[in-house]
Amino acid sequence: MQIVASRRQVLLKLLTDKDKNMDEDILKSMTESILEELQPDEIVLFSSCARGTEQTDSDLDFLVVVSDSEEVRRHRRQMTGRVYRRLAQFPVGKDILIYTRGEVERWRKVPGHIVAIGFDEGRRLYVR
């Protein structure tokens, strides 16, 4: 029987220095899941976990950059739902923001926009 770690256990593992390999294993697995689902151009971890200021109730914030297409603009919510379902196996809070490459270029230099914040403070987990 497989025992699933609680959300608190996963976050504590992400927060402790002694388990840095576990941190990276979890992030790698989550990144691979996003890659399999969307085949994005880029995945950025941002917010408190990227800054190193996370708390035990912090979530993981992902900015996912995909190629420009009309499909993305029309079906972004469904795409986001697919990623959430794919990441449901990881018992930690998460936010997934999906933007097209064109949207990223448009918003990247706008102070205070979530895209600018994500790229300014974020950690790139994957770049195509």
User: Domain-by-domain residue ranges, the chain?
Assistant: 7-127
pLDDT at 17: 47
CA 36 – CA 97 distance, rounded (Å): 16
CATH number of 7-127: 3.30.460.10
First to last CA, the chain: 37
Contact by Cβ (8 Å): 56, 15: yes
pLDDT at 71: 87
Q: SS3 of 6, please?
A: coil
DSSP state for residue 46 in the 8-state scheme: E
pLDDT in tens, the chain (128 residues): 344 455 555 555 555 544 454 477 888 999 999 999 999 999 999 987 777 767 777 788 999 999 999 888 899 999 999 999 999 999 888 999 999 999 999 999 999 999 999 999 999 999 99
CA 23 – CA 90 distance, rounded (Å): 12
How would you list the strands of the sheet with 42-46, edge to edge? Answer: 94-100, 60-66, 42-46, 123-127
CA 16 – CA 42 distance, rounded (Å): 27
CA 90 – CA 71 distance, rounded (Å): 28
Contact by Cβ (8 Å): 69, 39: no
Contact by Cβ (8 Å): 13, 23: yes
pTM for the structure as a whole:
0.80
Contact by Cβ (8 Å): 13, 26: yes
